[in-house]
């Protein structure tokens, strides 16, 4: 079997079925994945091919077709290609969302059908719907939950819908305004109750667990009058109902027990100060717990601010009393000038920690980009392959209310990583930014020595220049970074302003984010929309295996390119995507790539001519030299001088496009003498003029 032999399969009746002999390989199988240009957003992978459909088996509505009823929308398809060992390696795993068009000649004997299979991102995009709020999604996983009303209903709502199957809605009267923005970032807009509002939440019948019962909600109470406030009333099957009363003017909260028959208050905690650390006026998660303890009822009032790391509580015991099953919960304001913002009222048949939702109450603010991607995929049941680096990915602000794919892509976008799809499985895939730092090349090739290199297409344009970068934290501040040095400053090429709105955790992240994105936008190197390599023409099976293992974000090198290509002795790029074209005679990869330089960050304790080093600043030739010079003089008017420590040599520098290995530097003051030179390391050797810029060949950059 020749390496590069294709196999195409459909998943029919639970079995992968080989359909390769129906594929018109003369028309090629074309697989696209990743970004096809540097400025584009991620797209779903596709595999395009033409099938022989003379017997009608690939026409889903052809009742006479051999596979009628077995193929249709989203039938799974995979494309595999053999390696040198004869093992088939999956190059695409997707599904067929549509079959056709069918084409035929006048004779009707040459019938073909066009097929475009797609990766998982397509369906995630096509059926996109906004996810529920982080709070609602998390709360619906709690069990046993006997009543739950998110109160995230629209502005025209006349009841509050239950989020539980078969649950009755909550009715209300008086002044109630739905869909009001709240301080709770984990929730959608909630309901605001006016001073005459009354809401009743009917709780379905349930069997008490014996481990206690609790009522929880998000609430923020404000009142302008003295002695007025908010009441939470809990009805039970027993002889009593229970009232929690909060008075904003005094910041006191109390729990009372009242007799249904007489209306008399038979117990009260009295006014308990809530303190100023987590006031209910600012918005809290509030809980009231009840547990029968012999002949007494143990009660606890708890509250937790979304931004707090610890909650507050009062525990009391009501003697000689019985707490029955909760039948309803009522809510009312008592007095003019009261407004209560409330939502996510829940009745639970057990008692849990006020911290049971963890980061949910803050909308997961502060979680890393990689964790958000992982948790989102797990919540939605989306297969995911992840690649996290050794460093922490970016800390994110709260999860928004958007589609799964928007939230997933946002996490990787803020981090600077890559959101893509797996090559060999029907799965999403991601790589964090730090996972791509200072990696070894995944594939290398020398120009002119291999027949496999089919073409290079560098473009030196301004498509991705960003020399004036403003980063704004969503619902936060902003900062701007402008290029002051280098060849792409506004003074030299004009102003290229770019603004980024990023869901960052804190404003303190903005300067580094702006600096990183400024570095990405001021790399003065060409982009490479097409680096074409035919895997079949590689002479080494090791090289072929390395090529087909390349993924988005990997580093790819082509050494010794011609000077006119602008590669500067080495084409060092990061793969963003590619087109893979498979025929009977070729297996062509055409990579879209950008300069790898921003990701070639400094690494401590490296050694060798291209080890990470701090560069001097503003160094230039003190005098010109010839193309055969073996030493020259370098002036450094400001900043640190170049090292003279023999242990630091050799080191590589760049002088106006010529790469030179320096064996020694002498001189304790500027100018210094550079000697023991190896000229033209990158194939360029030329005379230089006084004032030419001298800098490290590999400039160590800080990671984000």
Query: What pLDDT shows up at residue 141?
Result: 84
Which of 583, 589, 549, 425 has the alpha carbon at shortest distance from 5?
Answer: 583
- pLDDT for 38: 66
pLDDT tens digits for 522-544?
999 999 999 999 999 999 999 99
pLDDT band per the 50, 70, 90 thresholds, residue 229: confident
pLDDT tens-place string over residues 604-654? 777 776 778 887 778 999 999 999 999 999 999 987 899 999 998 999 999
Query: Is the predicted pLDDT of residue 54 greater than 80, yes or no?
Result: yes
Residues across the chain:
704
Give me the pLDDT at residue 227, please: 63
Query: Contact, 401 vs 188, CB < 8 A?
Result: yes
pTM: 0.87
pLDDT of residue 144: 82
316: pLDDT strictly greater than 80: yes
Mean pLDDT of 490-494: 96
CA–CA dist 114, 46 (Å, integer): 13
**Burial of residue 517 (number of CB atoms within 10 Å: 0-12, 13-18, 19+):** buried
By mean pLDDT, which of 75-89, 216-230, 259-273 is the weakest? 216-230
Mean pLDDT of the chain: 92
Section 304-316 average pLDDT: 89
Whole-number percent of the chain with pLDDT over 70: 98
Q: What is the rounded CA–CA span in Å between residue 280 and residue 246?
A: 9
Give residue 486's pLDDT: 86
pLDDT band, residue 370 (cuts 50/70/90): very high
- Mean pLDDT (whole number) for 176-188: 92
The pLDDT of residue 26 is: 87
Q: Is the pLDDT of residue 446 over 80?
A: yes
> In this predicted model, which residue has the larger pLDDT, 487 or 589?
589
Provide mean pLDDT across the span 580-601: 95
Q: Is the pLDDT of residue 580 over 90?
A: yes
- pLDDT, one tens digit per residue, over 328-364 is 999 998 877 788 999 999 999 999 999 988 889 899 9
Give 234-247 pLDDT, tens digit per residue.
Answer: 999 989 999 999 98
Q: What value does the mean pLDDT take over residues 59-74?
A: 93
Q: For position 225, what pLDDT does the model report?
A: 63
The residues, ordered by sequence, that sit 6+ positions from 15 with a Cβ below 8 Å of its Cβ are: none
On the question of pLDDT at 71 being above 90, the answer is yes
How far apart CA 479 and CA 680 sit, in angstroms, is: 42
Is pLDDT of 13 > 80? yes
Q: pLDDT at position 665, please? A: 96
Strand (E) or helix (H) holding 122? helix 120-126
Asked if pLDDT for residue 545 goes beyond 80, the answer is yes
Between CA 383 and CA 377 the distance in angstroms is 7
| pLDDT exceeds cutoff 70 at 401 | yes
**Phi and psi, residue 577, nearest 5°:** 180, 180
Average pLDDT (61-79) is 95
Residue-wise pLDDT tens digits, 281-291: 889 999 999 99
Q: Which of 624, 622, 618, 627 shows the shortest CA–CA distance to 673? A: 622
């Amino acid at each position: 079997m020749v390496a590069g032999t294709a196999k195409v399969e459909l998943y029919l009746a639970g079995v992968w079925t080989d359909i390769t002999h129906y594929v018109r390989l003369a028309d090629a199988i074309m697989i696209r994945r990743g970004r096809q240009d540097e400025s584009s957003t991620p797209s779903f992978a596709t595999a395009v091919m033409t099938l022989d459909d003379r017997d009608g088996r690939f026409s889903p509505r052809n009742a006479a077709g051999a596979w009628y009823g077995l193929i249709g929308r989203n039938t799974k398809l995979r494309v595999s290609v053999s390696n040198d060992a004869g093992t088939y390696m999956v190059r695409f795993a997707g599904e067929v969302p549509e079959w056709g068009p069918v084409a035929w000649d006048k004779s009707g004997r040459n019938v073909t059908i066009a097929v475009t299979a797609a990766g998982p991102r397509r369906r995630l995009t096509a059926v996109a719907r906004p996810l529920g709020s982080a709070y609602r999604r998390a709360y619906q996983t709690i069990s046993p939950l006997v009543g739950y009303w998110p109160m995230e209903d629209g502005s025209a709502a006349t009841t509050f819908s239950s989020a539980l199957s078969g649950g009755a809605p909550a009715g209300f009267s008086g002044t109630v305004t739905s869909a009001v923005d709240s301080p709770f970032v984990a929730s959608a807009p909630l309901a605001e109750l006016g001073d005459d509002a009354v809401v009743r939440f009917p709780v379905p019948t349930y069997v008490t667990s014996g481990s206690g019962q609790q009522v929880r909600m998000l609430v923020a109470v404000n009142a302008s009058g003295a002695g007025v406030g908010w009441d939470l009333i809990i009805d039970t099957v027993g002889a009593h109902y229970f009232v929690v009363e909060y008075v904003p003017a005094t910041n006191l909260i109390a729990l009372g027990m009242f007799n249904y028959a007489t209306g008399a208050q038979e117990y009260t905690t009295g006014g308990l100060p809530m303190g100023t650390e987590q006031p209910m006026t600012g918005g809290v998660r509030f809980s009231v717990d009840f547990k029968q303890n012999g002949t007494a009822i143990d009660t606890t009032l708890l509250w937790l601010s979304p931004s707090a790391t610890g909650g507050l509580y009062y525990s009391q015991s009501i003697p000689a009393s019985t707490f029955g099953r909760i039948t309803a919960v009522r809510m009312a304001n008592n007095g003019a000038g009261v407004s209560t913002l409330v939502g996510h009222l829940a009745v639970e048949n057990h008692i849990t920690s006020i911290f049971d939702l963890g980061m949910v109450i803050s909308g997961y603010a502060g979680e890393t980009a990689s964790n958000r991607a992982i948790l989102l995929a797990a919540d939605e049941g989306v297969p995911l392959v992840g690649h996290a680096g050794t460093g922490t990915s970016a800390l994110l602000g709260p999860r928004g209310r958007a589609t799964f794919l928007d939230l997933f892509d946002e996490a990787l976008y803020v981090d600077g990583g890559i959101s893509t799809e797996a090559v060999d499985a029907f799965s999403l895939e991601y790589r964090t930014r730090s996972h791509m730092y200072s990696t070894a090349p995944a594939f290398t090739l020398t120009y002119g020595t291999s027949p496999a290199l089919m073409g290079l297409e560098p473009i030196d344009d301004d498509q991705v220049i960003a020399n004036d970068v403003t980063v704004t934290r969503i619902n936060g501040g902003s900062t701007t970074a402008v290029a002051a040095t280098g060849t792409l400053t506004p003074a030299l090429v004009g102003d290229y302003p770019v603004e980024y709105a990023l869901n960052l955790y804190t404003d303190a992240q903005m300067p580094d984010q702006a600096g990183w994105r400024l570095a990405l936008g001021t790399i003065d190197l060409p982009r490479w929309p097409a680096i074409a390599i035919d895997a079949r023409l590689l002479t080494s099976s090791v090289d072929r295996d390395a090529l087909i293992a390349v993924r988005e974000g990997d580093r790819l090198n082509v050494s010794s390119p011609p000077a006119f290509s602008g590669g500067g002795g080495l084409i060092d790029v990061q793969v963003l995507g590619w087109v893979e074209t498979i025929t009977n005679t070729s297996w062509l990869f055409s990579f879209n790539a950008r300069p790898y330089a921003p990701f070639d960050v400094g690494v401590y304790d490296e050694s060798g001519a291209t080890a990470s080093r701090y560069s001097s600043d503003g160094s230039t030739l003190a005098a010109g030299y010839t193309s055969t010079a073996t030493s020259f003089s370098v002036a450094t008017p400001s900043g640190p001088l170049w090292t003279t420590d023999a242990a630091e040599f050799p080191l590589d520098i760049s002088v106006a496009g010529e790469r030179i290995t320096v064996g020694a530097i002498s001189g304790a003051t500027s100018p210094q003498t550079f000697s023991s030179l190896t000229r033209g390391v990158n194939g360029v050797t030329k005379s230089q003029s006084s004032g030419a810029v001298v800098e490290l060949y590999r400039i160590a950059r800080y990671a984000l």
